[in-house]
Each structure stands twice: as structure tokens, then as C-alpha cells.
Structure 1
């Protein structure tokens, strides 16, 4: 008895050919050398103190912070100024400085603060920067300084019960803290009652 195989539909043949082509293309991409990424635009970003210098992420909400420059062309330097955001009337800058660049075009400032203070007061500010000693590049960024509010002696605010309230302390977090304190108190009282009754 003879059997004959049915011819494959044209769609199946086309799909097999496409799959073979994709396999060859994928193999060639794996073996091809990786392309070198083009350098980014010159920029200055805001970093929380303790954040890595080489990370290019901008952090616009900070307490203590410094500035980091990337992708500049030495021997340029980066001059920067921090002012209060409008509608605050214009006055002298809150803080100014300059970033000296390394050979790779990057650099960073020391922690930013006014001359007569440890840090900037809580509020909204604008950073403006401009290159010195080469082609002019300039830019600006908004930032918000938001530090925990503590009493001058380092303890909780006057009248506080041991929790230093900050602007980040939400009502939900407060309720959770009160709930934990209540559960802990009830557990403690039950243990004391058991011991007084002679229970293990």
C-alpha cells in the first residue's frame, strides 16, 4: 500500500523560512562587538550626601546634598548658584560655588550650604549652572530641601512623647505607631498578671 504525503501549505513554508532567518540574525548579533554608547549631554545633578558620585540620577528632594557634573570637556569648570524659587523676592544667592572637573569630564562639589549655616533651610530652590573656560553650557534644576524637624538639643519637639515629627510622618504611619504601642502594652500587662498568679 502506497502512502503519499500532503504538500505543506505555503504559510508553513514561509514561517519556517522566517524562523531560520531570525535565528541567523540573532546569532550574528550575539557574536557582533557591542556598540560604544555615545557620551551624554553635559549636565549637573543633585545628589543626597552618601549617594555614589558616579550615579547620574537626579534627586530633587533632599536634606543634605551635593552637586555632581557629568560629560563636560576639561579644562572647563562649572560655576553654580542656588536661589530661592519665585515668588520669593530676588535677593543675594543662597549658596554659590564651582566644580573642578576631572580628566573624564566629571566632578562634584562639597555638601552645599550657605556660608553661615550647616545646611539650607527647608524650602524650594532653583539651581543654575554655567561652564567657565570653554564653550558655554548652562542649565537649571528645581530642588526641594526637606529635613526632619527636631528640637535644638536634638530631642523631639517640645511636648513630644519621644517621636520626632517630620514632614514625611503621615497620619497612617502615626496610627500604626500608636497601634503597635497599644499591642505591646497589653502584652506586657498580660505577662505580668500571669507571673503574679504563678502561671508559667
Structure 2
């Protein structure tokens, strides 16, 4: 006569085997399922003029920002930016961002012209951090200065304005300043002695004519007197 335990042991063994297989499958696939959604996301380096809806990288920019999409919701991401040869190897920027809806963007940054690499890390990623290389090149947007031509020859100096009638007069050739006193004849009110006055000349002519007339009259009287004597 078989005991109940012995009769049911094959069924129990099958049940235990099935449960163990299911547990092993769950343990094997569980980490992959939890890591896969986070690894589906991507990050882009965008020029400041590029829309956040763009899915293209900007390998060269002047001012830039980091644009993430398709990550898990409420996911914390840490990132760093380091120089790349020939620019150097030093880390120059670092930060973090919470992707509330699985997407987000950082503020706009600027760096000296050179080559750089972005490292993007988060919890649940598989393998190494996401990496992007880009170049900062602000000199490309600056206009090339136009070389200036030879200086134009300057013309002769402008003549100095002539002194007005009420201003000071120029110096005499000998270096001494001319007399500031009035000039001209006395009759004109100038007070000078450069020549005889017109009235004086006429007066002298009148006197001379009178003297000549008296002389002629005297000569005419002398013959008459001689005959009478």
C-alpha cells in the first residue's frame, strides 16, 4: 500500500521544476527589461539657433545647448564636457538635468574655440556613457576686416582769414607793428602830415594871383609918371 506522500511526489517535482524555470527566466530577463527603456534615449549638441525639435547633431557651433529626448520619465542625467586634442584634455563644463517627461534641454553655453567631447551618464544605462564630439568655432561667424587703402595726401593748408577792418593789422616787414595812429591829410580828419591841405593850396594860389595883379598894375603906372615929369 502506497503512502499519499509517495503517490504525489512526481506531481510535486514537476511543479517545483516549472516554478524554478519561471523564476530563472524572470531573473535572466529582468535587468535587461529595466535597462532597455533608458538606453533608448539620445542627446544632441545643438547650435543656439537650432530648434529643440531637431534630431540632427550640429558638429560645429559657437553658442550651444544640449537637447535630450526619448529617455525614461523623471530620469536624472549627469553630463560633462572636456577638451579634445589638439585643444587639450581638461574638463571645462559639468552639470545635471532631470528629464521629467523623458525630454529636456540645458541652458545655452559658450566656450573658447576648440574641440570638445560630451559624456552623458544616467542610472540604468548599459555600457559606457553616451558621447558626442563637436567643435566650437565662433571665428567663422565674424566678418573678415577689409584692409584699408593708403592714406590720402592732404591738401595745402587753408589760408588764414584776412583781418577785418576793426581788427589788428599785420606787422611791418621789419618786424615792428605799424603805428596805431590815424593816417591821411588834415582835411580829411586823419590827423596826419603826409601832404598839404587843399584849402591851403587854393589860398596860396589866390595870394600869388593877387600879387601878380598888383605888380602888373604898378608897371602900367610908371610910364605915365615918367612922361609927366
* TM-score tier after normalising by the smaller chain length: 0.3 to 0.5
Larger gyration radius, structure 1 or structure 2? 2
User: Which structure is higher in helix share?
Assistant: 2
